[in-house]
Structure 1
Amino acid sequence: MAKKWRVVKRVLGALVALVVLLAAGTAGALGWFLHRTPGNVFDSNGVPIYYTDEGAGEPVILIHGVAANADLNWRKPGVVRALSRDFRVITMDLRGHGLSGKPTDPARYGMEMIGDITRLMDHLGLENAHVAGYSLGGFLVLKLVTTHPERVRSAAVCAAGWSSLVKELDDIPAPYEKPVPVREKRSAPAAPPADGASGDSARPAPKPPKPLVHRLRSAIGDFVVGDKTPIKAMKKSFPDLTVAREEIERNQVPTLCVIGDNDGLYYLGKELGEIMGAVEYVELKGPNHLTTPVDRQFKETLRGFLLRQRAG
């Protein structure tokens, strides 16, 4: 009996140790996920904007996507490390995100977000900089090169794009779903009439469940953002950030458009690559909207483009 009890105690001890290790590992992973790099804050028209500044060389400003922050989008995937060997790398948290201020008035977003980028340059004494944006950041960069081309040495529109059928940023396809041509997406048929009802009473087909990756990314975004009120306010300002085809066609700023072929915004990136002036279009094989930042070919493509744009 005593021998059996010793065995039971060993098993229980092993189970307790395993639980402790798993808990420690989970806490460690969560700590890594939430950790923020020490940085600075400057006042951008009344809103505090958090930024980091490291490395030496020509300045590169990195703009993250919606419901993320600079560390999650650029540092943890290794992009900052890859670029800081050759460039002065500056990251910022967009207003409404991360460690930056979070106004709840839609009027404090839109073009004010473009102003945050140029005011950061002013704050750092920069006439211009290379600017790269991911997802929402890519749309902001696209707006920046059409409104302030003199402030941009070169631009990188990453995991974003443009389409003649998307009149507002709010109309863009779901980035975490499989890529579907915008034309096809907008002309999807309604559900057939049920129970012999006439076509007049037909209702649109119910939306299919979102893919697991979309739900996972949304959950992560909700966790990172916390209060969604600022994000909702920001989205109401999206019409201010639309760009006309003529502006894109006459662009003269050297621009990289890079997107994964499994990205839900793939066709927007492809169309941008077809019509934009001074553009270099690169299509990555394999990555989607979630995995592109950690993809080796993405980091090599971005770094290679920026190296080619350096003065001298």
Structure 2
Amino acid sequence: MKKHLFHFSKVIALAFILFSCTNSETEKPLGEFDSGILIMNEGAFGSNDGEVYHLNPATDELKPNIFESANGRPFAGLLQDLVLENDQLYLVANTGKIEIVNSGDFASIGAVTADLDQPRSLTVNSGKLFISDYGPYDADFNTPDSYIAVVQDVNGGGVTNKIPVSRKPEDLISFGKFILVAGSEEGIVEVIDAEEEEVIETIEVEGSPKVFFEANGGIYLFSTSLEEVTIYSFNLDDFTTASTDVFPISNATGKIAFGNDGIMYLIRSSGFPDYVDAVATLSLFNSTVNPTWYEGSGFYGIGADPLRGEIYLANANGFQGNGTVTVLDESGNEVRDFEVGRGPSGFLMR
């Protein structure tokens, strides 16, 4: 199963989904970073100082800069996403590269360092990497040449194909040999045949599609507009929408996380000039909405640890120095806070 940050977090498992193994399975020894919480620090524009921290929530031990510590060199990019696929972590930098590391110790496995412009996320399908990329800006700072980059080896290498898609593709999710792509600017979901490396279908949706997630064996899409959010499900046999649920949550971003009892936590931000932020909650079971579950400013990322009943809220502090993380309980009470890197923007619970 693929996991990534919301943003990050791509395919996620709700708390009521259970995982099991048989006694006949050989368990792989856990590495240092195969448990705990990975904190993605985006870094500051111009400094390219994105990095990953690791938190052991049982002891509160925080290890900074684990990519640099493992590989003897800085990450040297702006971290956009952190994707877990089959014991490999893909560190996606929107400054034009992908670093691939072992999930247990963060040792480098490979990279994609050429022929990318502004990568946003990726998925693995048919033994290949498919990377969403805004493409280059034109003279008016538009992105008319967005694409999905294809790399033939899951351990990295060169880009062999660029599949044209709608402007500003964000999240991707795989099912079978197909890939769904969230086209955030044009309100389009594109379906790619991973074997043929081409778009075979498009699905029009309302708002700005941001994030896919899995629940109850289905694929869902989180889409935002100024006054509401919409959650779609899909008929995957004929690439049509199966359900459309609209919720009155304004100023929602693409930053979401899932806690216990089917509760979605999502960041709202009024943006310039007020920068009044809030965390809203949405119950996927009964559609109950609380638009101001927690209020403040500067919210930049969110994660949830269902096992401990804790919500992690990242604050970029205006990119004036390091960011902070505030840990909340399920009632919205502050439990503790701590300093992290520049621009903390997502969490991966292991």
Band of TM-score, shorter chain: under 0.3
Q: Which has a greater percent of helix? A: 1
Q: For CA contacts below 8 A with separation 6 or more, give which structure has more relative contact order.
A: 1
TM-score w.r.t. length of structure 2: 0.24
Greater gyration radius: 1
